[in-house]
Amino acid sequence: MFLSCKKSEVVVELSVLATASEGAFEDQRREPSGPSQGQRDLWTLQQLRERSMSAVQEVESGTGITLLRLSMGADEVTLFNAISAVASYASQLRALSAKVNLDDQKLVQFVWTNALNSASFSSHKLAFELGAVLFNAATLLSTTGRATVMSIDPAHRGTFPAAIKAACNALLTAAAAFQEIKTVFPLSQDSACIDFTPAVLDALEAVLIADAQELFLKKAVFDNMSPSTIAKLASGTAETFRRAYTLLAASSINGVFPAYWIQLARGKLGLYEGISFYNQSKVVAATSDAGFYGIQIAWLRAAQNALKSVHVEVFDGGANLAMRILKGVTGADTSAGFYFQESLNRVKAEVMATMEFVNGVLVPAEKDNDIIYVESVPALSALTMPTAAIMVKPDIAPLFDIYITNKIFPPLFETLTPLYIRQSQERYLKVRTEHLQPIEDLQTATTNCRTGLASINLPNAIESVFKPDSQILLEMQQTVMRDCVGDAERNGQVPPLAHMMQSAASLLLSQRDKTVQLLRAARAALDTEEAEDAEMRHGFGARWARVESTELTRGLREAIGGYADKLDDAQASDAIVLGKVDGNFQNLALLGDEGLLSVLIQGGGGGPLGESGIAAEAASRDEVNKLKGALALLNDLISKRELLFQDVQAAKAADDILPSILEASNGVHVMNEEDVFMANLKKYDAFVETSLASLTTQNNIMALITTRNQKFMEWVQTNERLTKRTEFIADHARGVALFKEIMTNLGAGIEFYTDFEPILKKLLVNCQDFCMTRGIEKKELLAELQQKSISQERQVWDGNLSSLNFKFDHNPPPSAPPPFKRQ
């Protein structure tokens, strides 16, 4: 092989791509159930990928496919099938890439090994996969082209032109594939994927172009074309190898390519420069211009210098350097070693032959000029260089037109909308958004209008000013019923709020007393038991041998202390709440007194605050009526917009630009896209005009409302009676809030004591159980001590009796009297 293929040993499941691109693979379902056509195409693409991998592996896995075998006609079918498999996969990847953008989805990870340094590189982009496949296609094609070149035999004049054409097409297609990688997957020069860096791809492309250009020169020589044509073609060939040599030897990719690549390019550069100069000398020799002999010698000398230079640099006066270059190559890679050894041998032979030929012409020419013509020989820089005729240009089309023999019918992903169509749809949506901006502005203005009216409290402010006293009184009572009374209502009657607060406070105190008594009883039980234990210990001293009560009651007393602290904190909070009750009792008691509220709301230092007093100011009322009329116009305007917005949404939902885009498409892009968009947007023109008119009307009405509202507010703020009524209503609201706060606090306290009571009851039971157990223990220990005391007294008595030394006859005669019987 001329160059190794890239390898991928990581299994990639392409079917996961079906979840990408907003359902792009689902929108062309051909059956009611089962996979869509797009999903089936992905499965086929998966098979193509696996087949291309197997084909490349077969070519490179030691099956014996080498340039030597290929040059002899062996393994051509295997290599052609490998190119066909790779090209088939690449063509379908191109089709998929043209229709959906999967780069941002990150659904799969493609991993490939570099061909030039065996390092791995991965990417989630489909373009990276396509680039790797194109690289392998280029590698296989270059192998085919070079094998064809090696098999060319000018002696077979019938097959020579066809072989030249086939080799040239393969090389240029490979060059185009390398060139396309830079477009489909551009990378920076410092990328870890060395195969895809611009400098490497440029060098590979340049080498293949130079090889193809070389074939054109061979064909010209084969066809016996004129020296002028050959000189131009040779000059073009030298230029292509000069570019290849420069790119291969670039410092940015130093060490990437083997040295023999660079030396071969340098050798061919010198060879074809010499051939170009030699044929240019023949062109000059055919003219009759004055001084032609000196110019002919100048071209011959230039040819000789070019050939000598490459002979010294590359071949070191022979084949030594070339063979040193090939050391380590032939053993490691028989195919590459054979190709470059053969190529270098051919170049060396041609250089030597051309040098000999040029020298055979130059020596007699210089002798004739010295004796006969005596013309000056110009320097090479003074000569006009032959026009470089470069006849080759990379073309990737043959890869997909010639090598894919088993094309898929119909092609994959035909049911998917092409990417340029989808992009056109996206552009249309952006244009439509801009076109409908007045409608969006109207929606924003509607929201701002409602927010603005709410901020100045219209129309609620108007309604509150002209609300009758009876209505205000009713609302106050409703507020009290809702916020203060709640579930306490009975039969539609509002209980006195003072009674509610008093009842809650009494219940709080009652619950608190219960908990205090429970805690006190628990502490008293322990105190009594400890006092009894201490009394017994004092009376019996060391004989009262049991654990002291203070040690046993430590845990219970700590619990009692903790609960006592909680009760102290609760009582402190109670004091604050009960202080609020006492301080606000009289005022809060008025909240639910309907009669008293009625008197207060209608009386005061400013006189009656009722509707009759307000209605007397007819001028102000007329101004307010105008304000209310403007608000009515605004409400009517906004209500009509809702229908407009609904119609616009319905039009957008039914808006399908795709048929129009497809009709205007030429298969590559959308023709006259802007005209297509504007024709489709005409359906919205009436909506836009209505929106603009409505917005103008709103601005006018809002200006009127602002002016009249300012006058209304000035009147409200300067009316003393309204001010007092407003203050009274605010005071009532604050009273309601205070009542709710107090009742909430009382409720929280009652709940605390209610929840605390069973805890303290349990504590009391524990203390009582402990005292009872200790009482039983005390009785048992006391009885034991008393028994010990009696036993000890008896022992003392018995000892006293024995000390008297009384002797008793226990067997007296029958006639003897009892021992203690009084005589």
Q: Identity (one letter) of the amino acid at 450?
A: R
Q: Which of 307-316, 365-374, 689-698, 712-721 has the highest mean pLDDT?
A: 689-698
The CATH number given to whatever domain includes residue 693 is 1.20.120
Structural domain count, the chain: 3
What pLDDT score was predicted for residue 595? 54
pTM assigned to the model: 0.56
Considering the domain boundaries, does residue 416 fall inside one? Answer: no
Considering the domain boundaries, does residue 819 fall inside one? Answer: no
Nearest-angstrom CA–CA distance, 190 and 736 = 76
Q: Residue 319 in contact with residue 345, Cβ under 8 Å?
A: yes
Considering the domain boundaries, does residue 64 fall inside one? Answer: yes
Q: Which of 563-577, 667-681, 707-721, 779-793 has the highest mean pLDDT?
A: 563-577
Q: How confident is the model at residue 293 (pLDDT cuts 50, 70, 90)?
A: confident
Nearest-angstrom CA–CA distance, 251 and 244 = 14
Radius of gyration of the chain (CA): 56
- What secondary structure letter does DSSP report for 821? -
Q: How confident is the model at residue 606 (pLDDT cuts 50, 70, 90)?
A: very low
Q: What is the mean pLDDT of the chain?
A: 80
pLDDT in tens, 782-810: 888 888 878 777 777 666 666 655 554 55
Q: Residue 49 in contact with residue 93, Cβ under 8 Å?
A: no
What pLDDT score was predicted for residue 117? 86
Give the CA-trace dihedral at 501, 503, 504, 505, to 10 degrees. Answer: 80
Quick check: helix, strand or coil at residue 75?
Answer: coil
What SS3 string covers 773-804?
A: HHHHHHHHHHHHHHHHHHHHHHHHHHHHHHHC
pLDDT at 496 over 80: no
Is the same domain home to 704 and 747? Answer: no
pLDDT at 612 over 60: no
| Angle, helices 37-60/126-151, rounded to nearest 10 degrees | 40
Is the same domain home to 531 and 388? Answer: no
Is the same domain home to 299 and 162? Answer: yes
Is the same domain home to 485 and 539? Answer: yes
pLDDT at 191 over 60: yes
Q: Residue 614 in contact with residue 721, Cβ under 8 Å?
A: yes
Is the same domain home to 590 and 650? Answer: no
Considering the domain boundaries, does residue 809 fall inside one? Answer: no
What SS3 string covers 694-722?
A: HHHHHHHHHHHHHHHHHHHHHHHHHCHHH
Q: What is the mean pLDDT of residues 329-356?
A: 70
What pLDDT score was predicted for residue 64? 46
pLDDT at 133 over 90: yes
Q: Residue 160 in contact with residue 153, Cβ under 8 Å?
A: yes
Q: How confident is the model at residue 433 (pLDDT cuts 50, 70, 90)?
A: very high
Q: What is the mean pLDDT of residues 81-108?
A: 82
pLDDT at 452 over 90: no
pLDDT at 614 over 50: no
Nearest-angstrom CA–CA distance, 364 and 434 = 84
Contacts of 604 (CB under 8 A, 6+ apart): 724, 728
Q: How confident is the model at residue 98 (pLDDT cuts 50, 70, 90)?
A: confident
Is the same domain home to 600 and 645? Answer: no
What pLDDT score was predicted for residue 69? 54
What pLDDT score was predicted for residue 500? 79
Nearest-angstrom CA–CA distance, 205 and 198 = 10
Nearest-angstrom CA–CA distance, 212 and 167 = 8
Is the same domain home to 623 and 709? Answer: yes
Is the same domain home to 244 and 338? Answer: yes
Considering the domain boundaries, does residue 622 fall inside one? Answer: yes
Higher-scoring residue by pLDDT: 317, 292: 292
Considering the domain boundaries, does residue 760 fall inside one? Answer: yes
pLDDT at 277 over 90: yes
Residue 275, Cβ neighbours under 10 Å: how many?
27
Nearest-angstrom CA–CA distance, 757 and 518 = 8
- 223: enclosing H helix or E strand: none
Q: Which of 109-113, 143-147, 277-281 has the highest mean pLDDT?
A: 277-281
What pLDDT score was predicted for residue 195? 92
Considering the domain boundaries, does residue 420 fall inside one? Answer: no
Q: How confident is the model at residue 599 (pLDDT cuts 50, 70, 90)?
A: low
Nearest-angstrom CA–CA distance, 217 and 237 = 7
Lowest mean pLDDT among 587-601, 636-650, 685-699: 587-601
Higher-scoring residue by pLDDT: 553, 801: 553
The CATH number given to whatever domain includes residue 385 is 1.25.40.280
Quick check: helix, strand or coil at residue 122?
Answer: strand
Q: Residue 594 in contact with residue 473, Cβ under 8 Å?
A: yes
Q: Residue 5 in contact with residue 335, Cβ under 8 Å?
A: no
What SS3 string covers 445-489?
A: HHHHHHHHHHHCCCCHHHHHHCCCHHHHHHHHHHHHHHHHHHHHC
Structural domain span for residue 361: 14-401
Q: Residue 130 in contact with residue 94, Cβ under 8 Å?
A: yes
Q: How confident is the model at residue 650 (pLDDT cuts 50, 70, 90)?
A: very high
Q: Residue 90 in contact with residue 133, Cβ under 8 Å?
A: yes
Phi and psi at 670, nearest 5°, equal -90, 125
- What secondary structure letter does DSSP report for 121? E
Q: How confident is the model at residue 22 (pLDDT cuts 50, 70, 90)?
A: very low
What per-residue string of b and e applies to 375-389 under the rule 16 or more CB within 10 Å gives b? Answer: bebeeeeeeeebebb
Nearest-angstrom CA–CA distance, 757 and 682 = 79
Residue 92, Cβ neighbours under 10 Å: how many?
23
Q: Which residue, 190, 179, 114, is CA-closest to 141?
A: 179
pLDDT at 726 over 80: no
What pLDDT score was predicted for residue 672? 85
Q: What is the mean pLDDT of residues 690-710?
A: 87
What pLDDT score was predicted for residue 336? 57
Lowest mean pLDDT among 67-81, 312-326, 338-352, 523-537: 312-326
Is the same domain home to 660 and 786? Answer: no
Q: What is the mean pLDDT of residues 412-420?
A: 73
Considering the domain boundaries, does residue 417 fall inside one? Answer: no
pLDDT at 324 over 60: no
Is the same domain home to 702 and 749? Answer: no
DSSP state string for 76-104: HHHHHHHHHHHHHHHHHHHHHHTT---TT
Lowest mean pLDDT among 199-213, 592-606, 624-638, 677-691: 592-606
Nearest-angstrom CA–CA distance, 124 and 103 = 7
Higher-scoring residue by pLDDT: 101, 700: 700
Nearest-angstrom CA–CA distance, 322 and 22 = 59
Q: How confident is the model at residue 620 (pLDDT cuts 50, 70, 90)?
A: low
The CATH number given to whatever domain includes residue 552 is 1.20.140.50
Nearest-angstrom CA–CA distance, 304 and 285 = 17
Nearest-angstrom CA–CA distance, 343 and 345 = 5
Higher-scoring residue by pLDDT: 659, 559: 559
Is the same domain home to 532 and 679? Answer: no
Q: What is the mean pLDDT of residues 271-282?
A: 94
Is the same domain home to 660 and 529? Answer: no
Higher-scoring residue by pLDDT: 211, 159: 211
